[in-house]
Chain A
Amino acid sequence: MSKNSKKKSTLSLIFSRLLFGQKERVETSVLEEEQVHSPMKTIVRNFKNNKLSMTGLIIFVTMFLIVFIGPNFLKLDLSYQEVTQQNIAPTSSLMKVPSKLKGHVKQIAIGSTFSVGLSDDGKVYTWGKPKEKMIKTMPSQEEMGKVVQIAAGLDHALALNSEGKLFSWGNDRFHLGSLPLDVQGVTNIKQIAAGYQFSIIVTDDGKAFGWGNTNVIDFNVGKYQGQIDKVVVASSGVIGLTKDGKVISLMTKENGYSRIPQDLGKVVDIASTSNAIAAVGDDGKVTVWGNITKNVDKVPQIDGKVVSIAAGRYHFTAITDDGKTYSWGANNFKQSTVPSSIQKADVKAVFSGYYQNYAITKDGSVLTWGLKGYVFGSDGMGRDMLTRLISGGRLTMTIGAIAVIISTIIGVTIGGISGYYGGKIDMFLMRLQEVVAGIPFLPFAMILSAIVGNRISETQRIALIMVILGLLSWPSLCRLVRAQVFAEREKEFVTAAKAMGVKENLIVFKHILPNVISVIIVNATLDFASAMLTESTLSYLGFGVIEPNPTWGNMLNGSNSGVVIQEYWWRWVIPAVALGLATICINIIGDGLRDAIDPKSQER
């Protein structure tokens, strides 16, 4: 303190104390004088001393940075939606293999939001986020006995025990839960498979039986009954592999899957994503066909001979004879980026499904990659809430900020002119301000949105909301600025500036407004919060930004349904918390600024 302190007159010290009283000040001796700061520095220091506002500022800045930098990392795909991933609660344990299962995994079957594991001693484990019904209807271990094979579909699972008995649990629509008559007697089941609400069994003697949602899954064994060795279920059809290594279509209709390439040779393994099939020949070559999307046909350079292949919803994972693992296809959840630790490991078997991969190494450990879960859950369209929250926050804050900039510019200009010139100009501008203030905001915005909303593009619509918000919210600031300018213009320094030859219209902006700037900043800060809230209100009601563009307001939209409120808390709690936190922080910052600027407010 003493090092920097310059000699200041006692008068100025008293004056500065009077003007800028501080809560905490370093005790100095009578002889030592305190450094007198410029008004701006004093405001900053006062603000820093206010712990609440500083907390608010830190939280808000953090949110702001996340929201504005985040979308560069978590890219939002506006057209993205995924039926199989709807309404998943916040989790990061979709691939968290139970510790009891580790070391002796026999098989892992992957459903949409859950995985079922089978241990060497025939025990079944479930992890991830299975639907409540699935947990309820799952048969007990005693009931099932020693399980030898499992399969998982969208929301149901199958288990086969050593006595050849089949169990099905989870979704029981389309008679999935109860085994059809022609399957009940069968004991020589070799393979069980489950798909999108569909179950298939393959017997030792090459017969296949399927049941479930036949509207979606096209299944017709036809002439191949008796030759089938393995079946795979894609999103709308079934493909089989015969005992002599031939790939066959088990569908009635011709489609992308059924156009099986002719030069496959002898096929040892097949796998299907939701819309593409891959076959591995006995020479270890992988061939992909079907409805090719998301780069599933971009098979990487594989060193060695592929012996086995597995498929998720939009990706394939293959292992070679020397234990190397390769993944390709969609990579939105890093499901086709094989971690380097797994690339080095000696993989014995790989299980893939949906967005998860489990690799079992020769020493029995389980390695995973792919979708761990959704930190903030997923919404009704199966979209990641976190991504939408961040992108939505950016849009919400941008709209709020631009609306505030517009309203501040208008408010300050009109308020300044009105306050400085007074008289008829003031009279006219104040009446104008009253008219604007009298317009009921929500009905006006709704009507405008309804009239022009459908004729314009989404970007124009967002711009329109910013402009409406800005154009309708300036009156309060305008009145405030006018009153302040009224007070300031009577002060002597204004006359002094005039006497110095400064032009009148410059005096308002160069000499008076800087004196009022603190009020403007505080008001703009508080307006920012209310602009965000108003935008959210509009978007929630469906008159603001509409889906698929996310904002915190329209993310809350789902909460107008009772089911969402009851069952899917994360869909409304999380955006509500984000919005609430942001607005509270802004308000705290605004209050803190006001206190920092106006020393009288601390004398409460």
Chain B
Amino acid sequence: MALLEINDLHTFFETKKGTVKAVNGVSYSVDEGKTLGIVGESGSGKSVSAMSILKLLDGNGRIDSGSIIFNGRDLADVKGNDMCKIRGNDISVIFQEPMTSLNPIFTIERQLSEPFMVHQKMSKKEARKQAVEMLRSVKIPNPESVAKQYPHQLSGGMRQRVMIAMALACQPKLLIADEPTTALDVTIQAQILKLMNELKKERGTSILFITHDLGVINEMADDVAVMYCGQVVEKAPVRTIFGKNSYSHPYTEGLMFSIPRLDTPAGVRLEAIPGAVPHPLDLPKGCKFAPRCKYATDKCREEEPELVSIEENHVIRCFYPEKGVRSDGKK
């Protein structure tokens, strides 16, 4: 059963130059206890779609249409204080920048005890005790003394652990991880991912994992949604894409090819997707990826493709799903 189901979500930002359609008809779902990975380039709308769930949009952003069904409730209609009860309690977020996501002037303890005090109405003393417990559960050595420290005294990895501890404080059903490892170096990244996987197993938390790193997706996700220009272009179980290499969309293909591989012979240039992401105010007619797609036809440039199912649990937004091929992963 799906814990979170987003249907045809449109999130727009009003700017002076016009309406930016950051999320333009996105649908995906996260099953209970599962991880959905969302990949895409910068500006593809992956973060905005996730932030729309909690309505943490900037002042000029709004959900234009669509529904966000969480646990049988449409979050698109929830307002103000009711939203505050869901945030951090049922759904919580880990942000990209552990350096700035903690308030620099409060001790770890004080920040970590806040969700307990806000949502579980604990007393200060109790909440602080719980905070230390949380630090221990995210495997921070010597949690009692770390609790008394300030964010600047911790390393990036430690801080991200604190952020995870804070996010998991109230045992949320869904954890949105918005590029949680992007700002960390690789070894720390591995530790954090391992920790998240462990916690997921322990607590049965569903995770919405946003990243642009396909390697991380492979490690973390059960399902993958690839986003481009505010739309989902391909959605499939992780094993279909990475295990069987049976991705079909040209954009997914481009992303896969741009990963350096150990078996690439020396001297062969890494293939990059030509061009750049179109400006959100000046989207191309037809398929949004057409200008950069090497398989594009005139039809692609004129008409916009719909999501089509090519096998069970595998949908792509392309006119030529069968043309795909590419199941061998090579040209």
Contact = CB atoms under 8 A, between A and B. Distances in A.
Contacts of B128: none
B154 interface: yes
Nearest to A8: B153
B103 A511 contact: yes
Contacts of A423: 59
Nearest to B98: A492
Interface string B136-177: 000000000100011011111010000100100000000000
B56 interface: yes
Nearest to A499: B93
A497 interface: yes
Contacts of B86: 501
A501 B115 contact: yes
B103 A493 contact: yes
B166 A501 contact: no
A12 interface: yes
A9 interface: yes
5 contacts: A19-B152, A493-B101, A499-B92, A499-B95, A515-B104
Contacts of A12: 152-155
Interface in A245-300: none
Nearest to A39: B105
A5 interface: no
A504 B55 CA distance: 13
A42 to B, nearest CB: 10
A39 B153 contact: no
Interface residues of A, number: 29
B312 to A, nearest CB: 35
A507 to B, nearest CB: 10
B166 A16 contact: no
A501 B85 contact: yes
B118 A501 contact: yes
Interface of B: 54, 56, 59, 81, 84-89, 92-93, 95-97, 100-107, 114-115, 118-119, 145, 149-150, 152-156, 158, 163, 166
A370 B101 CA distance: 71
B150 A38 contact: yes
Nearest to B60: A423
B153 A515 contact: no
Nearest to A11: B155
A514 B105 CA distance: 7
Contacts of B102: 493, 496
A9 B100 CA distance: 18
A503 B105 contact: no
A15 B118 CA distance: 31
Contacts of A16: 152-153
Contact of A6 (B106, B107, B115, B145): B145
A498 B87 contact: yes
Interface of A: 6, 8-9, 11-12, 15-16, 19, 36, 38-39, 422-423, 491-493, 495-504, 511, 514-515
Residue from A9, A496, A498 whose CB has the most chain B CB atoms within 10 Å = A496
Give the 7 A-B CB pairs with smallest separation, nearest first.
Answer: A501-B88, A500-B88, A501-B87, A499-B93, A492-B100, A12-B153, A496-B101
Given A12-B153, A15-B152, A493-B100, A499 B87 contact: yes
Contact of B115 (A38, A500, A503, A515): A500
Contacts of A9: 153-155, 158
A9 B87 CA distance: 33
Given A16-B153, A496-B95, A496-B101, A502 B56 contact: no
A321 B168 CA distance: 96
Contacts of B97: 492
A502 B88 CA distance: 9
Contacts of B54: 499
Contacts of B87: 498-501
A503 B81 contact: yes
Contacts of B96: 492
Nearest to B150: A38
Given A6-B145, A499-B92, A501-B87, A492 B118 contact: no
Contact of B119 (A8, A491, A496, A501): A501
Given A38-B150, A514-B105, 11 more contacts: A15-B153, A495-B101, A498-B56, A499-B95, A500-B118, A501-B85, A501-B115, A502-B88, A502-B114, A514-B103, A514-B106
Given A19-B152, A496-B95, A499-B92, A491 B84 contact: no
Nearest to A494: B103
B138 to A, nearest CB: 16
Residue from A11, A16, A501 whose CB has the most chain B CB atoms within 10 Å = A501
Contacts of A19: 152
A96 to B, nearest CB: 60
A501 B84 contact: yes
B105 A492 contact: no
Contacts of B93: 496, 499
A12 B108 CA distance: 14
B155 to A, nearest CB: 5
Residue from A19, A493, A515 whose CB has the most chain B CB atoms within 10 Å = A493
A39 B149 CA distance: 11
Given A12-B154, A511-B103, A500 B92 contact: yes
A498 B114 CA distance: 12
Contacts of A491: 100
A503 B92 contact: no
Given A501-B115, A503-B84, A495 B56 contact: yes
Contacts of A15: 152-153
A440 to B, nearest CB: 36
Nearest to B176: A499
A501 B89 contact: yes
Nearest to A517: B105
Contacts of A38: 107, 150
B236 to A, nearest CB: 29
B149 to A, nearest CB: 8
A502 B115 CA distance: 8
B35 to A, nearest CB: 19
A495 B178 CA distance: 12
A15 B101 CA distance: 16
Given A12-B155, A500-B118, A501-B89, A39 B84 contact: no
A499 B178 CA distance: 12
Contacts of B158: 9
Contacts of B106: 514
Contacts of B115: 500-501
Contacts of A493: 100-104
Contacts of B88: 499-502
Contacts of A496: 93, 95, 101-102, 163, 166
Contacts of A39: 104-105, 150
